[in-house]
Amino acid sequence: MSLWSYANPVRFMGATRPLVPVLGAVAAVCILVGLAWGFFFTPDDYRQGSTVKIIYLHVPSALMAINAWFMMLVASLVWLIRRHHVSALAARAAAPVGVTMTLIALVTGAVWGSPMWGTWWAWDPRLTSFLILFLFYLGYIALWQAVEDPDAAADLTSVLCLVGSVFAVLSRYAVNFWNQGLHQGASLSLDAEKNVADVFYYPLLVCIAGFVALFAALVLLGTRTEIRARRLHVLRLRERMADA
Amino acid sequence: MPELGKYALEVTLAYGASAVLLTGLVAIVVGRAARVRRALERVEGRRDG
């Protein structure tokens, strides 16, 4: 079956109904196990002390903050090119999750940075691009709320998403582009270099799996809600027209 | 409870704030899903009944 068949709302609703509770359960188990493992059963870092335990929240949330925007970008492109409503609604559903992940990354980063860098905040390339990404998320959510016509709202928010993608890329690669600032390079990357010791790495992977599953569960649930909300809106309009 | 040493406040603050934000997010998404589903069932019930 083609992926495009899920652009049909009825088929999408049928396919995702069993997925949401499964993904929710996987998310709950992975996050609880990963955080408990990291918090209770890993040692302090020889330089950073117990603040290293913040990595289990900061890295997964930052990862999802950026990747949520890329998921919205793909969904927005599908909307702009193929006009599939489900993809526009999926992008809309991902925004609240993405903004929360961005906020968690900013807050935990500030709390972690305070004792390590001696400041809560610096206008460092990565921190600044993350803050701008957060503002783009807020603008994206506000734009969906502000435009009454759903297709026009999907068009405008998709364009905003394309523009904001620059900052999503910068959030990930700002350190490499400018090679300055307080924030270190990526903790996790696909190259051979190892930046995180195994004792921290494995619980971190479990936490990342949990955050990915949580994101997927909430986006699917949110998309299902948006589909229902749109049908509800249409039915209420029909009722009003019938009463008039 | 692990010994968090001189960074106990920072670690507790990071975990506490994240727990509040994640719980709030899940509550908002699940709550809205339930509200919309109930409202749609009511309207569809009127339509079919």
| CB–CB contact B40 A49 (8 Å) | no
Smallest Cα distance from B32 to chain A, Å: 7
Q: Name the pLDDT band for A88 (thresholds 50, 70, 90).
A: very high
Q: For residue A37, what is the nearest residue in chain B, using CA coordinates?
A: B2
pLDDT of residue A174: 66
From chain B, the residues in CB contact with A54 under 8 A are 10-11, 14
Place A178 in a pLDDT band, splitting at 50, 70 and 90: low
Mean pLDDT on A21-42: 97
Q: Distance between the two ends of chain A, CA-based, in angstroms?
A: 44
**pLDDT tens track for B27-41:** 999 999 999 999 999
Chain A from 145 to 184: CB within 8 A of any B CB: none
Contact A100 B21 (CB under 8 A): yes
Shortest distance, CA B37 to any CA of chain A (angstroms): 7
Are the beta carbons of B25 and A114 separated by less than 8 Å? no
Distance CA A74, CA B49 (A): 41
Between positions 43 and 72 of A, the ones with CB within 8 A of B are 44, 49-51, 53-54, 57-58, 61
What pLDDT, on a 0 to 100 scale, did the predictor assign at position B21? 98
Q: Assess contact for A112 and A127: CB atoms under 8 A.
A: no
- If you count them, how many residues does chain A have? 244
- Asked if the model's pLDDT at residue A25 lies above 80, the reply is yes
Nearest to B25 among A35, A97, A115 (CB): A97
Higher pLDDT, A193 or A70: A70
Comparing CB atoms, the residue among B13, B21, B36 nearest residue A111 is B13
What is the biggest distance separating any 2 CA atoms in chain B, rounded to whole angstroms? 66
Buried b (16+ CB within 10 A) or exposed e, B9-42: ebbebbbebbeebbeebbeebbebbeebeeebee
**pLDDT confidence band for A124 (50 / 70 / 90):** confident
With 0-12 / 13-18 / 19 or more C-beta atoms within 10 angstroms meaning exposed / middle / buried, residue A107 is: buried
pLDDT digits (tens, 9 = 90+) for B6-29: 999 999 999 999 999 999 999 999
B40/A235 CB distance under 8 A: yes
Q: A100 — contact with chain B (CB < 8 Å)?
A: yes
Contact A235 B8 (CB under 8 A): no
Question: What mean pLDDT is predicted for residues A26-44?
Answer: 96
Q: Decide if A103 and B40 are in contact by the 8 Å CB cutoff.
A: no
Looking at beta carbons, which residues of chain B come within 8 Å of A40? 2
Local structure of residue A41 (DSSP, 8 states) = S
